[in-house]
Structure 1
Amino acid sequence: MAEDELRPREADILIVDDDDELRREMADYLAGHGFLLHQARDGKEARAQLQSHPIQVVILDVMLPGEDGLSICQSLKGADGPSVLMLSSMGESIDRVLGLELGADDYVVKPVTPRELLARVRALLRRRGNQSTPKSRIATYAFSGFRFDLVRRQLRAPDDTVLMLTPGELSLLGALVENPQRILSREELARFTRGNSAVSLDRAIDIQISRLRKKINEQSGMEIIKTHRGLGYILDSKVIAL
């Protein structure tokens, strides 16, 4: 399959970075590959762009004037929010882990090559596309009192509360419910959620699984997603396709 067939057409991308030259270079490169680019220098401009355009991916620098990127990232969490690719010039593991814990879907260290940036954006868009369910597939799954609607990208707890999940968490849950009572390795989960070209990022998968498991356990009172040390993760529940 050609690369152009994998790339969603006219996806809206927002770049938030106070380095004007770097931001424009990234925007020009991505625009040259068919995307609709929007730019912001800080959190205020970013929120205005998010309100005005159907942004699908936010490329977000950690260090910004005023409100920092981590705070903005946290505010974007939610099933209907854009995917977030964090950028940092520091490269320290604490910033990387914190960004992922706050809801980022991916994280790269600057300077990042235009080609790698493009690959990361395409991977995030591919993941979002995988969440759109064809009519031939099952749309809703039930497990342990939960209902997971793949079309609405919505998880309801046994008390009918809607749980707020990030796009990354939704992708992981989709992989688990479609492979119930089967151990999935980190590599398999990376392929399910990021496409066949993905390189497994063990720590990222671990963090997102941990967040997802905490949200589900708080509602169920029991451990539904279990870890098999050295092997991977399993949804230890009977799943019914509705």
Structure 2
Amino acid sequence: MTEPAPTSILLVDDESSLREPLAEYLTRQGFVVREADSAAQARTLLAQDLPDLALLDIMMPGEDGLSLCRHLVESRGLPTILLTAKGEAMDRIIGLEIGADDYVTKPFEPRELVARIRSVLRRAERPAAVADEELLYRFEDWQLDPLKRRLTDPDNALVPLSTAEFRMLRAFCDHPRQVLDRDRLLDMVQGREAQLFDRAVDNQISRLRRKIETDSRNPHFIQTVRGGGYRFGAEVTRVARDDSA
């Protein structure tokens, strides 16, 4: 039986005094770690191979961690954890809004970071119920594939989704025409760390609307319910996969 490949992590931090000992610790925990001291070096490494998760320092010279996080989430759908200083509360909020999965405040206990890494990876991995994952979601000629995490529009064109956007859309597809308040959506999409930031839901909804609505200012699919949250207005059906198509 083939052994599963070890989890790979991209660690991006310009402070070698933190990055190098942390990389050694994570390696001892069984992870494969690649280091970058800047966003530019990180982008070079990403072009060679995509890791399973990224750890990003927010404050770096040149391109900062938030900008790199946005790139990883929107174009790669990569699970991401931000490393932040105590005084960067607004940056943490922005990071969660653009789709980061979690954050850890410096200085941190390495064991806590490992626990958060594993928690994020568990949330990102494919659920065990494979039979259910084989069913596709369809709504008004759109199709969401939960197994491959692919969304296609009525013209069968692929619409890229970040991890958070995929989770948000799937939550709506699992509960069509039901009002979902922000607390419930936060729990479905981001987990406990995002519960402090209701605004993160609104920003993720706005990004998702821009991808699936004809007019995001007058949404047809994701409807705002005043005082209640959001409702997915379309009928959703589950259909069997046709891999021969």
TM-score class normalised by the smaller sequence: 0.7 to 0.9
Q: Report if aligned partners of 2:11, 2:54 keep a CA contact under 8 Å in 1.
A: yes
Partner of 2:221: 224
What is aligned with 2:242? none
Going from structure 1 to structure 2, the CA distance change for 1:99 and 1:136 (only over 3 Å counts) comes to closer
1:82 aligned residue? 78
Q: Cα 1:179–1:76, aligned 2, differ >3 Å: closer, same or farther?
A: same
1:21 to 17, 22, 38: 17
Q: Compared with structure 1, are the counterparts of its residues 237 and 163 closer, same or farther at alpha carbon in structure 2 (3 Å cutoff)?
A: same
Of 166-175 and 41-50, the range deviating more from structure 2: 41-50
Return closer, same or farther for 1:228/1:91 CA change in 2, 3 Å cut-off: farther
Match of 1:200 among 184, 191, 195: 195
Structure 1: unaligned runs, 5 residues or longer? 1-7
Of residues 228, 233, 238, the one that matches 2:230 is: 233
* SS of corresponding position for 2:179: coil
1:185 and 1:115 map into 2 onto residues whose CA distance is: 33
Contact conserved, 1:13 with 1:58, CA < 8 A, in 2? yes
- The secondary structure found in structure 2 opposite 1:76 is helix
- Which deviates the most, 179-188 or 197-206? 197-206
Are residue 122 (structure 1) and residue 122 (structure 2) matched?
Answer: no
Q: Does 1:53 align with 2:49?
A: yes
Amino acid at match of 1:236: G
User: Aligned AA for 1:225?
Assistant: I
SS in 2 for 1:34: coil
- TM-superposed CA distance for 1:238, in Å, is 0.5
SS in 1 for 2:156: coil
Moved more, 145-154 or 27-36: 27-36
Distance, in Å, in 2 between the alignment partners of 1:126 and 1:233 is 26
CA distance 1:223–1:100, change in 2 (3 Å): farther
Residue 132 of structure 1 and its aligned partner are, at CA, apart by 7.8
Distance 1:233 1:154 in 2: 23
- For each residue in 1:11-49, what CA deviation from the matched residue of structure 2 results, as whole angstroms up to 9, or x when unmatched? 111110011121133323333333222211112321232
Paired residue for 2:210, among 214, 218, 221?
A: 214
Equivalent residue of 1:107, what SS?
A: strand
Deviation at 1:125, TM superposition (A): 0.9
Q: Report the CA distance shift for 1:222/1:145 in structure 2 as closer, same or farther (over 3 A).
A: farther
For normalisation by structure 1, the TM-score amounts to 0.80
Tell me which amino acid in the other structure corresponds to 1:84. T
| 2:110 is the alignment partner of 1:111 | no
Structure 2 stretches lacking a partner, 5+ long: 240-245
Which is further off, 97-106 or 8-17? 97-106
Return the alpha-carbon distance in structure 2 between the equivalents of residues 126 and 193 of structure 1: 13
Query: C-alpha distance in 2, partners of 1:204/1:27?
Result: 30
Residue number in structure 2 paired with 1:3: none
Paired residues of 2:133 and 2:146 also in contact (CA < 8 A): no
Conserved in 2, the CA contact under 8 Å of 1:12 and 1:53? no
**Distance verdict in 2 for CA 1:25–1:12, change over 3 Å:** same
Distance in 2 between residues matched to 1:113 and 1:20, nearest whole Å: 17
Secondary structure of 1:208's counterpart equals: helix
Which one-letter code corresponds to 1:96 in the other structure? R
- Alpha-carbon displacement from aligned partner over 1:176-224 (angstroms, at most 9, x marks no partner): 21221223344433443456x7663433333323321332224786331
More off after superposition, 141-150 vs 197-206: 197-206
Q: Considering only CA atoms, is the larger Rg found in Structure 1 or Structure 2?
A: 2
Partner-residue secondary structure (3-state), 1:159: coil
